Amino acid sequence: MRIGDLAAQAGVTAKTVRYYESIGLMEEAPRHANGYRDYGDEALAQLRFIRDSQAAGLSLAETSEILAMKRAGESTCQHTTELLTRRLDDIDRQIESLLAAKQELLVMRSRAESLDPVACTDPARCQVIEAGRADSSAHAHHGADAHRGVGAHSGPALLGSTIPVRADA
C-alpha cells in the first residue's frame, strides 16, 4: 500500500510516517520503480503501535526502546510495565500540583469576593493576588500549622509554579 493509504488507515499523516522513518522508528519501506513506497500490513501494525504508545503517554524514545527490544526478540512486558508505572507517577505529581494550584485559586477567588474594589487603588498590582503572596509568605515565617483551613497552602505557589512537561514526547 502507498504511504497515504497507510497513514489514513493508522490515523496519522503521511508526514508523520516519513518522520518516523527518518528517525529510525520505522524501517523505510521498499520502493517501486516509480519511487513510491510500498508498505505491508506489518507497517500498519507497527504504526498503530506507535500511535497507541503515544496515546498512553510514552515518548517516541521509549516507544523506540520497546520496538528495538521486539526486533531483538526480547520480551518487553516488564520494560513496558516499568515505563507505564513511571508515566503514572508523573501523572500523579501533575494532579497533585494542579490540585494545589486549584486550592490557591479558590482562596484568591474567595478573597476577591470579600474585598472592596474601591480600596484597590495601586495601579501596579492587584490586591487579590498580592494578598495571596503575603499569605504564602506567612506560612514560611509562622509555620503552616497555624494557617491550616480555608486558604491553607500545601503545595507550590500558583504564581511561578510549573507542571512537569515531557520534553521527550
The pLDDT of residue 163 is 46
Place of cell 524514545: 61
Residue 114 has pLDDT above 80, yes or no: yes
Residue ranges per structural domain of the chain: 3-77
Label residue 62 by pLDDT band (50, 70, 90).
Answer: very high
The pLDDT of residue 59 is 96
Residue 97 has pLDDT above 60, yes or no: yes
Which whole-number Å values give the CA distances from 59 to 32, 53, 68, 145, 151, in the listed order? Answer: 32, 8, 14, 41, 37
- The pTM score is 0.63
Q: In 3D, which of 156, 155, 105 has the Cα closest to residue 129?
A: 105
Query: Under 8 Å CB-to-CB from 121, ≥6 apart: which residues?
Result: none
Q: Which CATH architecture has domain 3-77?
A: Orthogonal Bundle (1.10)
Q: In this structure, which long-range contacts are made by residues 67-71, counting pairs with CB atoms below 8 Å and at least 24 apart in sequence?
A: 67/25
Label residue 133 by pLDDT band (50, 70, 90).
Answer: low
Q: Which amino acid is at 108?
A: M
Label residue 141 by pLDDT band (50, 70, 90).
Answer: very low
